[in-house]
Amino acid sequence: MKALAYAITLLLAASPTLADDLTALSTTATSITGDISFDDHEIVFENGKKLVFEDLIADNFIVGGKKLPASVYSVKGTANPKLLNGNRLCGESPVTYVASWLDDDVTMIAVFETQDAPESDEDMCALYTYVYP
Report pLDDT digits (tens) over 4-29.
333 333 333 444 557 899 999 999 99
125, part of any domain: yes
Burial (0-12, 13-18, 19+ Cβ within 10 Å), 18: exposed
Q: Which pLDDT belongs to residue 19?
A: 86
| Structural domain for 46, as ranges | 18-131
33, part of any domain: yes
Q: Which pLDDT belongs to residue 18?
A: 76
10, part of any domain: no
The total of structural domains in the chain comes to: 1
CA atoms of 114 and 128, how far apart (whole Å) = 17
| Distances in whole angstroms, Cα of residue 57 to Cα of each of 16, 68, 80, 129, 133 | 20, 15, 20, 21, 28
Note the pLDDT tens digit of each residue in 30-73. Answer: 999 999 999 999 999 999 999 999 999 999 999 999 999 999 99
3, part of any domain: no
pLDDT confidence bin for 83, thresholds 50/70/90: very high
Contact 46, 67 (CB under 8 A): no
Sign of CA dihedral 18, 131, 71, 82: positive
26, part of any domain: yes
Query: Is 104 in a helix, a strand, or coil?
Result: coil
66, part of any domain: yes
Burial (0-12, 13-18, 19+ Cβ within 10 Å), 6: exposed
6, part of any domain: no
Over the Cα atoms of the chain, what is R_g?
A: 16
